């Protein structure tokens, strides 16, 4: 029997499936206007049908609940920590196998933004690409020959010299990878001086960012803080299946 979903938000990644004779009803929530903690001691999914059939799929179902619920909660906490800084919280492309749509959606419902969904959503030059091409100018020149006019280019940088090279090469987004806060703040000032106003590229802070350092990173003036842990290593919530009396 098909899963029946009561949808209360648009573009839910939950699709109809089959659990034999079990009917499952799930509630999904709209993205919050402000980051809030995930609800406690509440019911997020109910199932009806023969007991033996119900006991069959809980691992499958709870696995998806773990993924969506924990990702949403972790994102909401990160959004709350950066409130008022102007920085957005984003995930990365690092998701668990088979759960990408669910995890990406969970980040949005937690108040965050999605990075690339897959490799075709944008071009990114990482350190190995840059080193193999001989430097940022050479790598950008090579990849620009292949990109369509609708595709944005992000360049990963490791220091201020590389930030300046990415600026001169015309990157749309510059990733500040594993930089300390002082270097990030300097990169923000550099970009504002070299390409002011609407011509300034977006600046993305990434790499090793924790709850303890998140606020300081956001206060450097970067536009985006990307956190891979929102999807690939969040701690599971306490979700269990109980028989209703």
Per-residue pLDDT band at 56 (split at 50, 70, 90): low
Predicted pLDDT at 14: 45
Q: DSSP alpha helices (H): ranges in 118-180? A: 127-133, 136-144, 160-169
pLDDT digits (tens, 9 = 90+) for 85-141: 999 999 988 887 877 888 888 899 899 999 988 888 899 999 999 999 999 999 999
Report the C-alpha gap between 135 and 128 in whole angstroms.
10
Average pLDDT, integer, range 43-65: 60
Please, are residues 67 and 91 in contact by the beta-carbon 8 Å criterion?
A: no
What is residue 87's DSSP assignment? Answer: P
Predicted pLDDT at 236: 59
- Most confident option among 50-59, 138-147, 223-232: 138-147
From 4, 34, 62, 94, active-site residue: 94
Report the C-alpha gap between 137 and 45 in whole angstroms.
52
What distances in angstroms separate CA 16 from CA 3, 24, 26, 102, one per listed residue? 5, 10, 11, 14
Paired residues of 153 in beta bridges: 123
pLDDT digits (tens, 9 = 90+) for 12-43: 444 434 445 545 554 444 444 444 444 444 55
Short-list 104, 110, 102, 108, CA closest to 79:
110
Predicted pLDDT at 8: 35
Report the C-alpha gap between 77 and 89 in whole angstroms.
10
Report the C-alpha gap between 156 and 176 in whole angstroms.
6
Q: Choose between 51 and 31: higher pLDDT.
A: 51
Predicted pLDDT at 146: 92
Per-residue pLDDT band at 156 (split at 50, 70, 90): very high
Arithmetic mean of pLDDT over the chain: 79
The answer to whether residue 15 is catalytic is no
Task: Specify the pTM.
Answer: 0.75
């Amino acid at each position: 029997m098909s899963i029946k979903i009561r949808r209360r938000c648009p573009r839910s990644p939950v699709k109809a499936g089959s659990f034999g004779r079990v009917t499952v009803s799930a509630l999904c929530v709209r993205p919050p206007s402000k980051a809030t903690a995930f609800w406690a001691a509440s019911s997020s999914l109910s199932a009806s049908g023969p007991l033996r059939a119900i006991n069959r799929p809980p691992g499958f179902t709870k696995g998806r609940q773990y993924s969506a619920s924990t990702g949403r909660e972790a994102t909401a906490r990160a959004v709350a920590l950066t409130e008022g800084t102007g920085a957005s919280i984003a995930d990365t492309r690092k998701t668990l196998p088979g759960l990408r749509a669910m995890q990406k959606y969970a980040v949005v419902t937690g108040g965050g933004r999605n990075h690339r969904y897959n490799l075709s959503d944008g071009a990114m030059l990482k350190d190995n690409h840059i080193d193999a091409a001989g430097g940022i100018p050479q790598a950008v020149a090579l990849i620009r020959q292949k990109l369509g006019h609708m595709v944005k280019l992000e360049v990963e940088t490791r220091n201020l010299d590389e930030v300046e090279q990415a600026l001169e090469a015309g990157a749309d987004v510059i990733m500040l990878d594993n930089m300390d806060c002082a270097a990030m703040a300097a990169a923000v000032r550099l970009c504002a001086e070299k390409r002011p106003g609407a011509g300034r590229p977006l600046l993305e802070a990434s790499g090793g960012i924790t709850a303890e350092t998140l606020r300081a990173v956001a206060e450097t003036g970067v536009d985006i803080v990307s956190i891979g842990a929102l999807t690939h290593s969040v701690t599971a919530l306490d979700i269990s299946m109980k028989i209703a009396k």
